[in-house]
Amino acid sequence: MIKPSKKDNSPGSALMARPASLVDNVYDVLLGQLMTLQIQPGERLRVDNLSRELGVSQTPVREALSRLEVNGLVIKTHLVGYRAAPQLTKSQFEELFDFRLLLEPTAAARAAAAIDPDKIRRAEMIVQQMAGAHPGNHYRDFAVHDSEFHDYLASLSGNTLIADSLERLHTHIHIFRFYSHARVTQEAIDEHRQIFDKLKQGDPEGTAAAMRSHIEKSRQRVMSVFD
């Protein structure tokens, strides 16, 4: 999941706050460029060039790149340096969707079993934000909200191992990067709404089925690009 920049305003943090938020900013800029393919898969990323283009020193650039490396979006090769990760292959996407199908419907069922009015409000807000993010203009926002919805449901499962495993996949970053541009449709928004409706009713089986159907349809949308 893409985390918003954190601002630390606690007393005594002045020294740390400035560089940390600078790294966050550089990270956000590079993530945006990777997701919208302004930085192409496999493209070489030179620290000195990036630092010049972004008008910052090399330290925050290096830190942002190593964070992206953890997310699997950037690869570091000894003596060569950084380059943008290649797109996931067809079989890597297959594995990703298989893994999600094992975990997400179960997590969704558990979320529905433990639902309450506060959680419903929060989930509804995320669904609405995604519907409000026009894929053409706010392409990245759309991916962020999609990811937020899935991560939130996983967190409601109450199983932190499941939630952490899913979050670490950075599924939505990879999918949106793969789709290149506005191939995101109304379909995904409608599917999230169907999951939400079952969740709101506190219907574990219905929520699991809606989640399974959404992931299977998402898989078909991605796989159709390989045909």
Which parts of this chain interact with Zn ion (CB under 5 A)?
146
Cβ closest to Zn ion, residue 100 vs residue 119: 100
> What is the C-alpha radius of gyration for the chain, rounded to an integer number of angstroms?
19
Half-sphere exposure (Cβ direction) of 186: Cα atoms closer than 13 Å:
0
Distance from C-alpha of 9 to C-alpha of 203, rounded to nearest angstrom:
41
Cβ closest to Zn ion, residue 65 vs residue 153: 153
Angle between helices 139-156 and 186-200 (to 10 degrees): 20
Cβ closest to Zn ion, residue 26 vs residue 173: 173
Residue 38 in 3-state DSSP? Answer: coil
Quote the least distance from Cβ 214 to Zn ion, whole Å: 6
Distance from C-alpha of 202 to C-alpha of 192, rounded to nearest angstrom:
15
Name the residue whose CB lies closest to Zn ion: 146
Quote the least distance from Cβ 37 to Zn ion, whole Å: 21
Quote the least distance from Cβ 218 to Zn ion, whole Å: 6
Quote the least distance from Cβ 38 to Zn ion, whole Å: 24
Query: Dihedral through CA 102, CA 72, CA 31, CA 12, nearest 10?
Result: 100
Burial of residue 176, with CB atoms counted within 10 A of its CB: 0-12 exposed, 13-18 middle, 19 or more buried: buried
Cβ closest to Zn ion, residue 24 vs residue 146: 146
Quote the least distance from Cβ 224 to Zn ion, whole Å: 17
Cβ closest to Zn ion, residue 20 vs residue 209: 209
